[in-house]
Copies of this chain bind each other. A is one copy, B any other.
Amino acid sequence: MGTDAAPLPEVDGAIQAARNRLAEVLLVGPEDILEQELARRGAARLPIEIVHASETVTMEDAAAKAFRRKRDSSMRVALRLVHAGQADGMVSAGNTGAVMAAAKITLGALEGVDRPALAAVFPTSKGKAAVLLDVGANVDCKPHHLEQFAIMGEVYYRVIFGVERPRVGLLSIGSEDHKGNELTRESFLQLKGLPLRFVGNVEGRDLYNGRVEVIVCDGFIGNVALKISEGLIEAVAALLKESLSSTLSSKVGAVLSRNAFRHFKKRVDYAEYGGAPLLGVRGVCLIAHGSSNANAIKNAIRVAAEFAERGVNGKIERELAHTVATRNY
């Protein structure tokens, strides 16, 4: 019940996922509405099961209050299914803060993880995906948090995108080793000691140029980075639209370049990546954008299934244990 147009994108996304045999879907929300929508789409015979939840968390709900007061919200019911082993993972396009808080409390953290981290997945100019974490507001991080983020992000990228040795960078203000603030300078030394392909400091411009696959930062920076990007894209789109419709010839031009824009949009469409994984919780939790369409939901379901099947969490725990073990001896 999380998207802005809920439950339509969820229902359509679930149907697409079921039709493509990506997963068996448990659709969590008000039984009557969901039954009606499924029936209307002739989806009764697909492997989709409805699990009733009577409440919905909205964007206006504060995360902690939503958790305490709405015990029968679709997000809490879904998380309980994961916790009980009745679901292999959950996808929500709801209030990000509320999903994160509920997931951390309901599922708990993996062995060796101090702070679960939200990882944003986005396209670069090279056509590959990059992962930035934490974007989930883990503020005032310590170096060992960033170290855990690096390990979790690297395992995630490796397993989900099938890249054997993804490059890991530390977000800073210059590529030289000594550039940065207290946190990044200390973290740099720790990341250098990890058994992964650490390429050192990267700059803001490296988020989108494909120079690196996994970028690690404090959750304050990550959250600001994500929202600046969203805001800038919105501003550019608005200004471009205005400019394009301001003259007749450019109106004609706009029609002719429509295919190009569609092509462009598809290439930068976050929907292809489905959602942001909450890494480090004991279970699988994908958080999709509130504006997600059915395609984004379908892809989030696909990624959640891959996350579970390929054992991302087990690999994360083993990597973390290995890191601690190597450090102690």
A: residues with CB less than 8 A from B are 124-125, 137, 139-140, 171-174, 180-182, 184, 203-209, 218-221, 223-236, 238-240, 242-244, 246-247, 249-250, 252-261, 263-264, 267-268
Copy number in the complex reads 2
B181 near A235 with CB under 8 A, answer: no
What secondary structure prevails in chain A residues at the interface with B?
helix
| Known pairs A125-B239, A243-B260, A254-B257; A204 contacts B181 (CB<8 A) | no
A235 near B173 with CB under 8 A, answer: no
A201 → B minimal CB distance (Å)? 11
The 9 closest A-B pairs by CB, nearest first: A253-B256, A204-B227, A253-B257, A205-B231, A204-B228, A250-B260, A139-B181, A208-B235, A243-B264
A97 → B minimal CB distance (Å)? 8
B233 near A236 with CB under 8 A, answer: yes
A110 → B minimal CB distance (Å)? 24
**A181 partner, pick from B220, B233, B236, beta carbons under 8 A:** B220
Which B residues are CB-close (under 8 A) to A172? Answer: 220, 224
Question: In the complex, A209 Cα to B236 Cα: how many Å?
Answer: 10
| Known pairs A139-B173, A181-B140, A263-B246; A239 contacts B268 (CB<8 A) | yes
A249 and chain B: residue at smallest CB distance: B256
